[in-house]
Structure 1
Amino acid sequence: MNVEEEVQRLREEIKRLGQVQTDGSYKVTFGTLFNDDQCANIFEALVGTLRAAKKRKVVSYDGELLLQGVHDNVEITLNPTPPPPTATPSSSASHQPKLKKSTSSLSSSSELRSKTQI
């Protein structure tokens, strides 16, 4: 499992074990995550996955390194995912410059030379 997959699994586990907040985030304590059997089976290095998720701004918590026992009561917040941006197809088309069609058609470069010399 690569880091991105582990971070995604961490999101799922925090949603399963945590409490939803009014802003759409989820909160769970480090001790709850660390002592959960399912999490223990999924994550070989829970602390490393948490640090990777924090670096990607998926989760937030106080401190850099969490240790079992000492940091069991530290709250880990799964940040709410922002809604995807809504694209309006007409807005991008209205800003494109319109190209004018050429009215003269010269079939060869010799025609061009002869017309410019006249």
Structure 2
Amino acid sequence: MSTKVVEVKTLKVGKYVVLDGEASKIVNIQTSSPGKHGAAKARVDAIGIFDNQKRNLVKPVDAKIEVPIIDKRTAQVLALMGSDVQLMDLETYETFEVPIPDDLRDKLVEGAEVGYIVAMGNKKLMRIKG
């Protein structure tokens, strides 16, 4: 797994975190002030990048947590195959298939350049370039 460890207090909305073994995008962070005998706590709400599941986490702000290393890449659409699309990476020329997100389904055409991400061994189509 390609992750690194950071403290909870360094997390920001829009960044990524590993919750329940899944890479997730942070949508909300709330911190409580420290009490008389306790440490400040952070409540992190995130949505899974690959499965769209909502996940929550409550930990002290000085606790350690894993953050996925996200690799943003460019590919070319080779073929549209129903609910999947075949892509070729423009740096390594590797070909692979990924599911088409609902918001890009009718905009995707063969030969177009697209942006995708690789995180923790999974790939996801993110946007159409240009």
TM-score range, shorter chain: under 0.3
Q: Which structure shows the bigger proportion of residues in helix conformation?
A: 1
More contact order relative to length (CA 8 Å, sep ≥ 6): 1
Which is higher, the Rg of structure 1 or of structure 2? 1
**TM-score normalised per structure 2:** 0.23
**TM-score normalised per structure 1:** 0.25
